[in-house]
């Protein structure tokens, strides 16, 4: 006998896959919208942990795994942006330092 997973959890899992896709592409606005919808669905199925079927627990574990992956991707994108900002700051300081060393006419 196979267990039928909760429909809200199944939808939350589908949204989790979309969240990861949005994180891979660094689409922050889309990611925030998807995450809010997913949170609403997950909160709607708040029940006692023991009352969850094994299929539901499996879905929740996969949602958590995908969430961790999305967080990791966003951290990666954040570090890339921070590095780009650091490099821009170094460039600005270099321009400022060397702009005063022009030969005088």
Q: How confident is the model at residue 34 (pLDDT cuts 50, 70, 90)?
A: very high
Nearest 5°: CA angle at 8, between 46 and 4? Answer: 100
Question: Taking a C-beta distance cutoff of 8 angstroms, is the pair 34, 22 a contact?
Answer: yes
pTM: 0.75
Q: Tens digit of pLDDT for each residue in 52-74?
A: 888 898 999 999 999 999 999 99
Q: Is the pLDDT of residue 2 over 90?
A: no
Residue 100 exposed, middle or buried by CB count within 10 Å (0-12, 13-18, 19+): exposed
| Domain covering 7-99 assigned CATH 1.20.58 in the classification | yes
In angstroms, the CA 91 to CA 38 distance is 42
pLDDT of residue 1: 45
Provide the residue ranges of all domains of the chain, joining segments of one domain with +: 7-99
């Amino acid at each position: 006998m196979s267990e039928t997973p909760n429909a809200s959890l199944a939808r939350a899992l589908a949204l989790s896959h979309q969240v990861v896709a949005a994180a891979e592409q660094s689409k922050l606005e889309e990611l925030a919208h998807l995450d809010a919808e997913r949170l609403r669905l997950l909160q709607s199925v708040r029940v006692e942990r023991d009352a969850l079927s094994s299929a539901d627990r499996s879905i929740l574990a996969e949602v958590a795994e995908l969430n961790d992956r999305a967080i990791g991707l966003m951290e990666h994108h954040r570090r890339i942006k921070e590095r780009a900002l650091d490099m821009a700051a170094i460039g600005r300081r270099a321009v400022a330092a060397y702009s005063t060393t022009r030969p005088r006419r």
